[in-house]
C-alpha cells in the first residue's frame, strides 16, 4: 500500500544562500520544496544594515527560478557597530525578520561578530520592545573550552545571563546539537529552537570513525549519540518550541576536502525526503507538519503557507550526489542509508 503525507508547504528557518554564482546554483534546491526561508547574513562582507539587507533580498529574488514562489526572510548580522534605529526601521518596513548574533570567531565568516555583549545591549533592548527575534549561534569561542562543550557552556555563560538582562527578548537557539539545548529551550519563555536535518541523522562517530568525513563536518559539530536522540525526540514531539532550520551551508568540494576544511553540510536538496523518513521511523509522521510548516510561522508571527506538498513512500529515492556551480561542485549531504520518501507536488 502506498503511504502518502500531505503537508502545508514547509519553510526553512535557517538557510545559507551565499551570493553570486553560488546563490544562483543553490537557490533552486531550496525553492523546489520551501516557500520561505530565514536567510543568514554571514556574507563577506556581512549583511549589517537595512540597506545591505534590501540589496541582498533583491539579488535573491532575481535568482529565483521561473515559476517558483519563494519569499526570502532577511536578517541582519549583529555587530558592535549596529545602529538600533536602522534595525527598527528595517523591521517596521517588513524587510527583516530577525537579527543574528554570532560570537566573534564562532563559525564561517563570523569575524565581525560580537565580543562585548554590553556594547550591543541597546540594540537588544530595542528588539525586545518591538518584538524582533534574536537568532543565536550558541557556542562560546574560548580556546580553553572543548569544542564538544561549547554549546552547553554558551547556555550557562552567555545565553541565560543575556536573556535575564533583556526581559521579553524573543530568542531562537539556532541549530541546537545537545540535550542541554533541548532542555533549556523547553524550560524557558520566549524561546524557539531550530534543529537541522543532519543533526537528526549523524552523531560524531559519523565524522570520525573509519576516516575523516569532511562533508559531515559542520558547526556546531555533531555530538554524542545520546544528544542526537534528544534532538530526534524534540523534533518529533510536536512541541511548538522546535522547528526546522536546515542550516544548509554550501561550500565547494575544494573548500571541504582539504587540510583545513570549511564547516557546513548542504542539505537543501534532500531535507524533506530525509525528514519524512526520520519521522516515519519514529512513528511521528503526523507531527512532521508541525516541525516543518506550523511551529516556525507561529514563533515568527507569520501566516501559514496555504499551498501543500505531498510526500510518498516508495523505492529508494535518488538525487544528484553533487550540485554543479561555477565555483566548483557542492556535495549533497549523504544520509548514509537508503531513503524511501519522495516529494511530489
> Can you give the binding site for Zn ion, defined by CB under 5 A?
247
Does 218 participate in binding ligand NCD (rule CB under 6 A)?
A: yes
Whole-number Cα distances in Å, 139 to 146, 155, 171: 11, 8, 15
- In angstroms, give the least distance from the CB of 107 to Zn ion: 7
Helix or strand holding residue 153 (H, E): helix 150-154
Helix or strand holding residue 150 (H, E): helix 150-154
- Out of 193, 247, 256, 279, the residue judged to bind ligand NCD by CB under 6 A: 247
* From the list Zn ion, ligand NCD, none, partner contacted by residue 218 (C-beta under 5 to 8 A by kind): ligand NCD
Total chain residues near ligand NCD (CB under 6 A): 11
Q: Which is nearer to ligand NCD, 166 or 248 (CB)?
A: 248
The number of beta carbons lying within 10 Å of the beta carbon of residue 210 is 7
Q: Which is nearer to ligand NCD, 181 or 264 (CB)?
A: 264
* From the list Zn ion, ligand NCD, none, partner contacted by residue 42 (C-beta under 5 to 8 A by kind): ligand NCD
* From the list ligand NCD, Zn ion, none, partner contacted by residue 50 (C-beta under 5 to 8 A by kind): none
CB 124 within 8 A of CB 59: no
202 exposure class (CB count in 10 Å sphere: 0-12, 13-18, 19+): buried
Does 108 participate in binding ligand NCD (rule CB under 6 A)?
A: yes
Q: Which is nearer to Zn ion, 139 or 247 (CB)?
A: 247
**Dihedral (Cα; 128, 130, 131, 137), 10-degree rounding:** -60
* Nearest C-alpha neighbor of 70 from the set 20, 6, 26, 7: 26
247 is catalytic: yes
- In angstroms, give the least distance from the CB of 74 to ligand NCD: 16
Catalytic residue (choose from 12, 52, 86, 247): 247
| CA 129 from centre of chain | 25
Helix or strand holding residue 281 (H, E): helix 271-281
- In angstroms, give the least distance from the CB of 225 to ligand NCD: 20
Q: Which is nearer to ligand NCD, 57 or 137 (CB)?
A: 137
Whole-number Cα distances in Å, 197 to 26, 115, 179, 202, 294: 17, 30, 16, 9, 17
Does 245 participate in binding ligand NCD (rule CB under 6 A)?
A: no
Does 137 participate in binding ligand NCD (rule CB under 6 A)?
A: yes
- In angstroms, give the least distance from the CB of 137 to Zn ion: 7
| One-character DSSP codes across 250-264 | ---HHHHSSTTPPP-
* From the list ligand NCD, Zn ion, none, partner contacted by residue 239 (C-beta under 5 to 8 A by kind): none
Q: How far apart are CA 137 and CA 220, in angstroms?
A: 8
What is the β-pairing status of strands 330-331 and 341-344?
Answer: unpaired
Does 42 participate in binding ligand NCD (rule CB under 6 A)?
A: yes
**Dihedral (Cα; 165, 52, 253, 30), 10-degree rounding:** 90
Q: Which is nearer to Zn ion, 12 or 247 (CB)?
A: 247
Q: Show the binding pattern over residues 287-326: x = contacts ligand NCD (CB under 6 A), - = does not.
A: ----------------------------------------
Within 146-175, which residues bind ligand NCD (CB under 6 A)? none
Q: Which is nearer to Zn ion, 7 or 235 (CB)?
A: 235
Q: Which is nearer to ligand NCD, 40 or 339 (CB)?
A: 40
Does 107 participate in binding ligand NCD (rule CB under 6 A)?
A: yes
* From the list Zn ion, ligand NCD, none, partner contacted by residue 285 (C-beta under 5 to 8 A by kind): none
**For residue 86, what is its C-alpha cell?**
536602522
In sequence order, the 6+-apart residues with CB closer than 8 A to the CB of 63 are: 23, 24, 27
Q: How far apart are CA 92 and CA 85, in angstroms?
A: 10
The residues annotated as belonging to the active site are 247
What is the binding site for ligand NCD (CB under 6 A)? 16, 42, 107-108, 137, 218-219, 247, 249, 263-264
Amino acid at each position: 500500500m502506498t503511504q502518502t503525507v500531505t503537508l502545508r508547504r514547509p519553510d526553512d528557518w535557517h538557510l545559507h544562500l551565499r551570493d553570486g554564482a553560488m546563490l544562483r546554483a543553490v537557490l533552486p534546491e531550496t525553492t523546489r520544496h520551501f516557500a520561505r526561508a530565514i536567510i543568514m547574513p554571514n556574507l563577506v562582507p556581512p549583511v549589517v544594515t537595512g540597506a545591505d539587507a534590501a540589496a541582498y533580498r533583491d539579488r535573491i529574488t532575481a535568482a529565483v527560478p521561473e515559476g517558483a514562489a519563494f519569499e526570502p526572510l532577511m536578517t541582519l548580522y549583529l555587530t558592535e557597530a549596529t545602529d538600533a534605529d536602522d534595525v527598527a526601521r528595517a523591521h517596521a518596513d517588513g524587510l527583516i525578520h530577525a537579527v543574528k548574533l554570532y560570537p566573534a570567531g564562532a563559525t564561517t565568516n563570523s569575524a565581525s561578530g560580537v565580543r562585548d555583549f554590553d556594547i550591543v545591549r541597546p540594540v537588544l533592548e530595542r528588539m525586545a520592545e518591538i518584538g524582533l527575534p534574536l537568532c543565536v549561534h550558541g557556542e562560546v569561542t574560548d580556546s580553553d573550552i572543548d569544542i564538544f562543550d561549547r554549546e552547553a557552556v554558551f547556555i550557562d555563560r552567555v545565553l541565560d545571563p543575556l536573556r535575564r538582562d533583556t526581559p521579553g527578548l524573543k530568542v531562537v537557539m539556532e541549530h541546537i546539537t545537545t540535550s542541554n539545548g533541548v532542555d533549556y529551550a523547553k524550560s524557558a519563555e520566549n524561546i524557539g529552537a531550530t534543529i537541522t536535518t543532519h543533526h537528526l541523522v549523524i552523531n560524531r562517530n559519523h565524522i570520525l570513525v573509519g576516516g575523516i568525513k569532511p562533508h559531515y563536518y559542520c558547526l556546531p559539530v555533531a555530538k554524542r549519540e545520546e544528544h542526537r536522540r534528544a534532538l530526534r525526540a524534540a523534533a518529533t514531539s510536536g512541541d511548538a518550541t522546535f522547528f526546522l532550520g536546515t542550516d544548509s551551508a554550501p561550500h565547494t568540494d575544494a573548500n571541504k576536502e582539504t587540510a583545513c576544511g570549511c564547516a557546513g553540510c548542504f542539505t537543501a536538496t534532500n531535507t524533506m525526503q530525509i525528514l519524512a523518513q526520520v519521522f516515519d521511523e519514529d512513528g511521528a509522521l503526523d507531527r512532521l507538519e508541525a516541525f516543518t510548516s506550523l511551529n516556525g510561522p507561529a514563533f515568527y508571527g507569520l501566516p501559514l503557507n496555504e499551498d501543500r506538498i505531498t510526500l510518498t513512500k516508495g523505492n529508494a529515492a535518488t538525487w544528484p550526489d553533487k550540485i554543479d556551480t561555477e565555483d566548483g561542485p557542492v556535495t549533497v549531504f549523504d544520509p548514509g542509508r537508503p531513503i524511501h520518501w519522495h516529494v511530489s507536488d
